[in-house]
Amino acid sequence: MLFVISGPSGCGKSTLVKHALSALSQVAFSVSHTTRPQREGEEEGTDYYFVDRDKFDSMITESRLAEWAVVHGNYYGTSKRELEHRASGGTDVILDIDVQGARQIREKHKKGLFIFVLPPSFAQLKQRLVKRGQDDPDVISQRLAMARKEIRAYPQFDYIIINDALETAQQELEAIFISERCRLHRRQKGIIPILRSFTEPE
């Protein structure tokens, strides 16, 4: 399954994704490409693939991206090869992308599952962006202005997580994964031997 997690900058989606990767089995993270500078603590190939604008432009021209978008002046995108690589191991795949990218993925992958993360309020989102200390005031203002637009996309998603209490939000995300894995059409193949055992003589 493809799990697409989106929401405004600062809502905590990356923190939730990291928890899901550590708490759940058989799940892989699809690493996005970006032209933005690498932040302290980020690792190449783990958090993002950091590329220059020329490299990103060539990926667009050669149709190597499943989705891409310009966010706050930087380019972000998911390569088709990355999605195929992560899915080839028979695991579920998580995408942590912006609303524009999620919309593109939805158009191309009808069977993906789309999860939108909301902060408890606009004021708390602003407080989180300021507190994390990664952006100057002008960039924070841009992120907040974008957030006002992005939250309008919530009806396009299958699940909503309100990230008020982090532990509760983590449990909700785990529950979504677990419940989706238990759907009949996904368990059909696995239960055949069990059903067959009930028809065999004792």
Give residue-wise pLDDT tens across range 39-69. Answer: 888 999 999 999 999 999 999 999 999 999 9
What's this model's pTM, rounded to 2 decimal places? Answer: 0.89
Contact 129, 137 (CB under 8 A): no
pLDDT of residue 40: 84
pLDDT of residue 73: 86
- Ordered by where they begin, the domains of the chain are 2-31+92-197 (3.40.50.300)
At 100-146, the pLDDT tens digits run: 999 999 988 767 899 999 999 999 999 999 998 778 899 899 999 99
pLDDT of residue 53: 96
In the chain, the amino acid numbered 199 is T
Of the candidates 7, 20, 29, the residue with the CA atom closest to the CA atom of residue 162: 7
* Alpha-carbon distance values, 153 to 78, 82, 142 (Å): 20, 26, 18
Neighbours of 79 (CB within 10 A): 19
